[in-house]
Amino acid sequence: MANIEKKNILEVRDLVSGYGRIETLHGVSIDVPVGGITAIIGPNGSGKSSLLKSVSGLIRTWSGNVLLDGKEITNLAAHKLVSEGMTMVPQGRVVFPQLSVEENLTINAFTVKSKQVVRERLEEVYAFLPILSERRKQFAGNLSGGEQVMLSIAKVLMQKPKLLLLDEPSLGLSPKVVDFVYDRIQHLANNGVDVLVVEQNTKKALAIANHVVVLVLGDVRFEGTPDSLEKEIDLGTLFLEGRIAE
Amino acid sequence: MPPMFGSALISGLVIGGFYSLVGAGLNLIFGVIKIINFAQGAMLTIGAYLTYWFVITTKLDPYLALPFVALVLAFFGFIIQKTLINRVLGQERTSQLLITFGIALAIQNTTLALWGPDIRSVNTFISDKTFEVSGIRVGATAAMALLGALIVLLGLFLFLSRTRMGTAIRAVAQQADSALLSGIDVKKVYAIAFAIGSGLVGVASVLIVPIYDVYPLVGEHFGIISFIVVVLGGLGNIQGAAIAGVFLGVIQNLFAVYVSDSLSTAILFFIFLITLLFRPQGIFVRKMRVS
């Protein structure tokens, strides 16, 4: 009989982590279901970025477990996670400014040994975002802000990940570019890439997510669908006061 | 071209080639790992002694030691990065500064203990050969040094700009965290960069030995000058370092011939200070930057 149990691409269990001696995550457990977009929202300083960094191996997990597709990946080095099928786009500048656009793309396929495969993925990316093909010889640092965002998304495509982690993709972008970025994220999700996105822009995140996690001061306050979130929690109060309205 | 100017120019180019090799290695290490390798000069001393040891043991020509010395030094650099420097990278700036300084002192004292303070020299099959270029006598060892430096630096540019590992090195130099997320083992790239930087010193030492005497402080002069090379060429700028090295060599020799021999090294430090004061970003092209 077919397994009808809901599967998770990523499971985080009782994760404790932080910076230096300061604990920012106090035993966080979340599920990222297969198929679709999971959004983590919450006020500033609630540990959203720490969670992504800890999951992706950029900062150490003090205790707890992280499972990718059922496989234990707790504290696996960041560069090894790429071959496991998980990749993260960090906040802010994510391109190598003094590599050409094409070098920025091929370097993200660093774990792919076959030149033929790299070539094929490059062609796919250029078909998906033709502007990058025109700019392929230019330094990434000379692209416009919007083009750099396109390049960072394209870089991810070179890795063909199962799970994509995005840390505040809307940060510092004009509304038009944000719309474009979210359209591309939706497109990736429709094409079989599971997405975990951390967002300050709650409205935007809730619009595309089918699973939501609310993180407040290092603890999970809510996990479920966007619809049930709106019934259960007054987000305005939560974000203003950093706690759930009674 | 007047012969005196010509020969000063040639020897300036030769010594400049050495400065370029050692300085490019130092700049590569700085650009990628963001540490200052105070042991660069001491590594040159090891290379010189290895060459000397190769010659007296095998009775072969010193130039044949080139692949051996370059590889041994590259391996040595790789191990230093893996076992020592990778451990202090997350720590305070001072521990990072002092560790390479400690390595330099350890090397100097070990070479002194192993070989003593005596000055030694090595001959090659072309030691007494010279040839003439438009009225200027050029020593064959000088021509060999210049040619060798040119080929190796060209090879370095091609490696950094054309190969997969070269691109990875430049990526790590620009943003190490993003490089991790690209799937690059950053600490391994650090070790490879340190190995290449040390290998360049190995090449320089083999080319130097037929021209200079070998003694425990032979590398120090080049080590110190390589800092001037880096400042002039721009931090992390490999191409700038190559040009700055040659520039300094030529200035030093022309100054020695036409102005004052005894002040010819001091002039380099004046250039160093003036550059630091008025153009700290360096004065040469910024194209082939690793960072």
* Cβ of residue A118 closer than 8 Å to a chain B Cβ: no
How close is the nearest chain B Cα to the Cα of A106, in Å? 9
Quick one: DSSP state of residue A6?
P
Query: Cβ(A30)–Cβ(A24) under 8 Å?
Result: no
Query: Cβ(B189)–Cβ(B172) under 8 Å?
Result: yes
Amino acid of residue B104: A
Distance in angstroms (rounded) separating the CA atoms of residues B52 and B32: 31
B181 CB neighbours in chain A (<8 A) are 56, 58, 78-79, 82, 87-90
Query: Cβ(A24)–Cβ(A59) under 8 Å?
Result: no
H/E element holding A3?
none
Closest residue in B to A58 (Cα) is B177
CATH code for residues A8-93+162-241:
3.40.50.300
Q: Under an 8 A CB cutoff, do B183 and A96 touch? A: no
Interstrand relation of A211-216 and A37-41 (parallel, antiparallel or unpaired): parallel
How close is the nearest chain B Cα to the Cα of A82, in Å? 5
Q: Under an 8 A CB cutoff, do B182 and A78 touch? A: no
Q: Give me the helix-helix angle, B186-208 and B3-33, nearest 10°.
A: 160
Count helices and strands (H / E) in chain A: 10, 10
pLDDT in tens, B177-206: 899 989 999 999 999 999 999 999 999 999
pLDDT in tens, A8-18: 999 999 999 99
Query: Cβ(A158)–Cβ(A125) under 8 Å?
Result: yes
pLDDT over 70 for what percent of chain A? 93
pLDDT over 70 for what percent of chain B? 98
Q: Under an 8 A CB cutoff, do A110 and B186 touch? A: no
- What does the pLDDT read at residue B144? 92
A interface test, pick of B92, B170, B178 with most A CB neighbours within 10 Å:
B178
- What does the pLDDT read at residue A2? 46
B interface test, pick of A54, A58, A60, A79 with most B CB neighbours within 10 Å:
A79
Domain positions in chain B:
3-278
CA A37 to chain centre: 10
Q: What is the pTM of this model?
A: 0.86
Q: Under an 8 A CB cutoff, do B185 and A88 touch? A: no
pLDDT in tens, B69-97: 999 999 999 999 999 999 888 788 888 88
- What does the pLDDT read at residue A13? 94
Give the residue among A183, A187, A211 at the shortest CA–CA distance from A197.
Answer: A211
Question: Where on the phi/psi map is residue B107: left (φ > 0), alpha (ψ -120 to 50), or beta?
Answer: alpha
Q: Under an 8 A CB cutoff, do A99 and B171 touch? A: yes
pLDDT at A4 over 80: no
Q: Under an 8 A CB cutoff, do A79 and B170 touch? A: no
pLDDT in tens, B207-250: 999 999 999 888 988 999 999 999 999 888 888 999 999 999 99
Query: Cβ(A170)–Cβ(A200) under 8 Å?
Result: yes
- The distance between the two most distant Cα atoms of chain A, rounded to a whole number of Å, is 58
The torsion angles phi and psi of A5, rounded to 5 degrees, stand at: -65, 140
Amino acid of residue A184: R
The ipTM value here is: 0.80
Query: Cβ(A133)–Cβ(A126) under 8 Å?
Result: yes
Residue of B167, B174, B180 lying closest to A97 (CB–CB): B174
- Is residue B269 very low, low, confident or very high in pLDDT (cuts 50, 70, 90)? very high
Distance in angstroms (rounded) separating the CA atoms of residues B43 and B199: 9
Within 39-98 of A, beta carbons closer than 8 Å to B belong to 56-58, 77-79, 82-83, 87-90, 93-98
